[in-house]
Each structure stands twice: as C-alpha cells, then as structure tokens.
Amino acid sequence: PNAMVIAIDGPAASGKGTLAQRLARHYGLPHLDTGLLYRGVALTLLDAGASLDDEAAAARAAESLIADRLADPRLRDRAMGEAASRISAVPAVRAALLAWQQRFAGTSAGAVLDGRDIGTVVCPDARVKLFITADATERARRRHRELEHRGETTTLAAILADIEARDARDAARSTAPLKAADDAVRLDTTHLDADEAFAAARAVVDRAR
Ligand code: C5P
C-alpha cells in the first residue's frame, strides 16, 4: 500500500489521542479519533431518551451518525466513555461505523486513526501500527488532571475504577476486542512525557516511510 496510514490503538487514557494528533500534524495527514464515533452514537441515544441496551436503536444511530455531532463538547464527558463502551460491543454498531472509518482511511495520501481495533480490523494493512499502553494508575492520574482541567470533579479512585472496568469490557467483547495487532509496535508511556512519547512514535514512523 502506498498511502501512509498510521493505526494507533490502546486502552483508555493511554495518551493515544494526543499522540495521534501530533503525528497527524507532523506528517500533514488527516486524523480521526474513532472513539468519538462511538461516543457520538451513545450521545444520540441519550438525547433521544433511548436505552443504551436498545441494540436496534444503537445500530440506527450508527448508520445515520451525523458528522456535526462529533464536535459536541459533551462527547468528552466521563459518562460518555462508559456509554460508548457499552454500545460499542454491539456488532451492528461496529459494522455501520467500519465503512465510515475505512472511507476516511482510504482517501488522499494517508491518515492517522486512533482507537481500539484500527490495526486489527479497520486498517489491517496500515503502514505503521502502534499499540500504546501505560500502567492503569498512571493513566488514571492523566485522565484525572484532564477532567479537573475541564471542571469535572471526580476522585482518582473513581477514575481508576472506571478505566479498569472499561478496558475489561473492551478487551472481553467478541467483536473487534481491544488487542494489539501481531505486527504492532508496542509503546509503553508509563515513564514517558508527551514529548518523549511523540519522539518514540516518530522514530517508528520514520523507519517505515
Ligand atoms: O477512545 P475513547 O475512550 O474515546 O473510546 C470510547 C469507547 O469507544 C471505548 O471505551 C471503546 O469501547 C469504544 N471504541 C471502540 N473502538 C474504537 C474506538 C473506541 O470500541 N476503535
């Protein structure tokens, strides 16, 4: 494949989003945070007063997801990550969003996508695959800082519980579970700051160019 597709996966709050954004800017590629699609489906259901357990409604919301929705600041709320994780286990939801993501990845000279199943399912032929990890307590600390910055008050313990429950659910689902592709390069950022993680990721990409 000639296009420069960079697939970035990892658990919640691993720093993959920030990293994906920086790589996209550096290499001049469009970036898609695929978690926003799942969050967008969850928000559509909640706004319509539908239950998160209503799989048919979730599938319809995924099929008609409007791009405008993806700019809603409520998508970043803590509760929306949990809601997204619940509806993301529905196969029909994943199928509807798959086409959307593959169209994004297939246009122009390449793209950077981040999520849980980019290297395994969405872009199995990606030029570069990174799997970003960090200890759960470190991830909880980062997410806590981020949420405080946004004015959401929560305890570190609550966030850690959140993150661990979400990772367990994402890794256990039968359709496209959270998992590193066999050919992914693993990057543990527990002891790296954002600049160091960016430098390490760039080295991997430059080797593959
Ligand atoms: O990455 P983010 O935390 O925004 O994702 C929210 C939820 O969406 C995840 O916990 C996961 O359940 C789901 N998701 C997914 N596949 C992706 C991206 C996100 O299942 N590619």
User: Where do we find the tokens 């945070």?
Assistant: 33
Q: Is 34 in the pocket of ligand 1 (CB under 6 A)?
A: yes
Q: One-letter amino acid identity for 159?
A: I
Q: Per-residue b/e over 76-113, b at no fewer than 16 CB within 10 Å?
A: ebbebbbbbbbbbbbeebbebbbebbeebbeeeebbbb
Pocket flag, ligand 1, residue 101 (CB < 6 Å)? no
Q: What pLDDT, on the 0 to 100 scale, is given for residue 2?
A: 64
**Which of 116, 143, 166 best tests ligand 1's pocket when mutated (most atoms within 8 Å of CB)?**
116
Using a cut of 0.90, tell me whether the model's pTM lies above it. Answer: yes
Rounded distance between C-alpha atoms, residue 108 and residue 131, angstroms: 24
The Cα 185–Cα 25 span in angstroms is: 21
Query: And the tokens for 125?
Result: 């032929």
pLDDT digits 0-9 by tens, 31-52: 999 999 999 999 999 999 999 9
Any atom of ligand 1 within 6 Å of the Cβ of 44: no
CA of 72 to the centre of ligand 1 (A): 16
pLDDT of residue 77: 87
Mean pLDDT within 135-155: 92
Q: How far apart are CA 4 and CA 147, in angstroms?
A: 33
Please determine, for residue 1, whether its predicted confidence score (pLDDT) is greater than 80: no
8 A C-beta contact, residue 110 and residue 4? yes
Angstrom distance (rounded) from CA 73 to CA 51: 21
**Per-residue pLDDT tens digits for 89-140:** 999 999 999 999 999 999 878 999 999 999 999 999 999 999 999 999 999 9
